[in-house]
Chains A and B, each alone.
Chain A
Amino acid sequence: MADSTSKATVLEVSGLVAGYGEVQILHGVSLRVAEGEMVAVIGPNGAGKSTLMKAIVGLVRPQAGRVLLRGQDITGLPPEQVVARGICYVPQADNVFPSLTVQENLEMGAYLVPKQVKERLERAFALFPELDQRRHERAGRLSGGQRQMLALARALMLDPQVLLLDEPSAGLAPRMVEVVFAKVREINAAGTAVLMVEQNAREALKLAHRAYVLAMGQNRLEGPAQELLGSPEVARSYLGE
């Protein structure tokens, strides 16, 4: 899969500039995700990783640059339309509806395909059996790991072309991080392209095919994940060695 150039591009971001109000956070970020690929974006705190995610899904309006989904320009579309076109997103925090039950959370994930809710629910419960037992429990009562599973399951309800994950390991116990990452690998192996932002750079690089290193809202490095894992600069600056 390392030979990503031969695969069709699903998501392409070029020269993205975005921020909040007067504060500009992204100063021209570019990346691409190919069919079936798992791409990681790593970088220090404040590098603009979360903003990048929000700008792709339309929660933050880009000031310049383009976002292309299979060649179609989706720059600046509102989130509900971006989702309808096949980009699903799991925010870092607050990624479930706490007062809704587990099943209702998943129903909201399938809001755009009301006729297929039943079959997709069953599929989600088959993929996440631990959620099946808690179908009617409110999401606010789930543990951190279970919430993360639910957030993943919710985002998968629409069969996205690309799944965007913002720090899936944040706030989880090390054992749960492993479980969540294993799930992400499983999802990717089943064919869904994944773009993942991670603070936990080493684990993310082990998981991904390719990676981008972001710093100060700009591309710093990019390459196959294995190469970056072995690069002295990455090791010194981002892996804490």
Chain B
Amino acid sequence: MTAAARAFVQSSWQELRYRADALSGALLWALVVSFLVGSAVSSPDHFAVGLVVGSVYALAALGLTLVYGVLRFANFAHGDLMMLGGYLAYFALTGAVVGTRRDVHLPRALDSLPGASERLGDLTFGYGLLVAAVLSALALGLLCIGLDRLVYRPLRRRRAGVVILAVASLGLAIGLRSLMLMVWGPNPRLYVEGVFPAHRFPFGVLLKSDQVFTFAVAVALAGLVYLLLFRTRLGKAMRALADNPDLARVSGIDTERVTVATWALAGALMAVAGVLLALQAQLNPQLGFVVLLPVFAAAILGGIGNPVGALLGAMVVATAQETSVGWEIFGRQLDPTYKPGVAFVILIAILLLRPRGLLGAKT
């Protein structure tokens, strides 16, 4: 083959790849938008619940994608850390741990403060839980920094590969789950016991006040994270470090400090996500691992490492999971127990068709 012919083939091939990439991107966007609009119109009730669940996934996926972007590894302990955040808030609120026959309580906890359990408006909880959530966010941020020092940083310094880091995080996940089982037992726990009515909204949407609260808190926090990442010196340094660690260092960015800040932020986000998840469902040592999959699917669908993508991906995955309850497949309604399966299908499809997701960087 002559050089000219080879150059022609090569440039045509590149052109083709470029077009295929643009096409897969356009297709994915079209699918996502038509799915969101379609499910919002056909089953607004499930869609609304999906948005609430999605806002919790979004906080978790933000933390996951930040850690992935800055430190370049998939943290499988993310779900269990999130659950631990939920339990830490529970512990701060009630002071309860599991005992041989009955729970053992600390002499004092937040709910022994005057009025801490009085319901705030129509919400199921009092200010005690809000304080507990803030304390849990601080504690989990510190814990993440500590775990990084203890587990991940030594591995990074030895230039361990992504697989080794991922497996280490899996081990950490199992350890954390066992710890939660030991301290709080296998039975589900709730912040507040009781049955609370839902409110009617237009289009047949039924939501509890706690769910509206969850959505509002998650959206506000995601907005703050966005401002941090795109408007502050520290946030820009995080993005710079995610883009190119060596170039960040020769720009004078202290990567160690940025890493610590990233863990603190991710830890705080995980804790809040854990509290909101427990508010939505329950505290359960197994739940962290169950939500890990949809959270990964959300981060990858949005484009791993991209915070805006994580938000968008979380909404798509969660609404898909929730509306799947109404889907008919071979004439039968899909059972709700298949919800995690829906996230799994999305994850596989994205990895096969467009690994960089909606907003991810080209590799």
Interface residues of A, Cβ cutoff 8 Å to B: 57, 59, 78-80, 82-84, 88-89, 91, 94-100, 104, 107-109, 111-112, 114, 140, 154, 158
Contacts and interface: CB of A to CB of B under 8 A. Distances in A.
B252 A98 contact: no
Contacts of B249: 59, 78-80, 83
A107 B230 CA distance: 12
A111 B253 contact: yes
A226 to B, nearest CB: 32
14 contacts: A59-B250, A80-B252, A83-B251, A83-B252, A95-B247, A98-B243, A99-B242, A108-B236, A108-B248, A109-B251, A111-B233, A111-B237, A111-B253, A112-B252
Contacts of A99: 239, 242-243, 361
Q: Which of B233, B249, B252 lies at the interface centre, i.e. has the most chain A CB atoms within 10 A of its CB?
A: B252
Contact of B244 (A78, A89, A94, A104): A94
A169 B249 CA distance: 23
B49 to A, nearest CB: 33
Contacts of A97: 239-240, 243-244, 247-248
B247 A94 contact: yes
Main secondary structure, interface of B, reads helix
B250 A57 contact: yes
B340 to A, nearest CB: 31
Given A80-B255, A99-B361, A140-B361, A108 B250 contact: no
A172 to B, nearest CB: 18
Contacts of A108: 236-237, 240, 248, 251, 253
B200 to A, nearest CB: 44
A107 B247 contact: no
Interface string B253-265: 1110000000000
Contacts of A88: 250
Contacts of B233: 107, 111, 114
Contacts of B252: 80, 83-84, 111-112, 158
Contacts of A100: 236, 239-240, 243
A140 B239 CA distance: 14
Contacts of B239: 97, 99-100, 104
Given A99-B361, A140-B361, A91 B251 contact: no
Contacts of B236: 100, 104, 107-108
Given A108-B236, A108-B240, A83 B250 contact: yes
Given A80-B254, A107-B233, A59 B246 contact: yes
A79 B244 CA distance: 14
B361 A98 contact: yes
Contact of A91 (B237, B240, B246, B361): B246
Contacts of B361: 98-99, 140
A107 B249 CA distance: 14
A194 to B, nearest CB: 16
Contacts of B250: 57, 59, 79-80, 82-83, 88-89, 91
B322 to A, nearest CB: 32
A139 to B, nearest CB: 9
A236 B239 CA distance: 47
Q: Which of B237, B243, B250, B255 lies at the interface centre, i.e. has the most chain A CB atoms within 10 A of its CB?
A: B250
A108 B236 CA distance: 8
Nearest to B242: A99
B243 A111 contact: no
A80 B257 CA distance: 12
Nearest to B251: A108
Interface in B243-301: 243-244, 246-255
Nearest to B236: A104
A88 to B, nearest CB: 7
B171 to A, nearest CB: 27
B52 to A, nearest CB: 30
The 9 closest A-B CB pairs, nearest first, are: A79-B249, A112-B252, A97-B243, A83-B252, A108-B251, A108-B240, A79-B250, A97-B240, A89-B250
B199 to A, nearest CB: 41
A20 to B, nearest CB: 11
A99 B253 CA distance: 17
Interface string B69-94: 00000000000000000000000000
B7 to A, nearest CB: 15
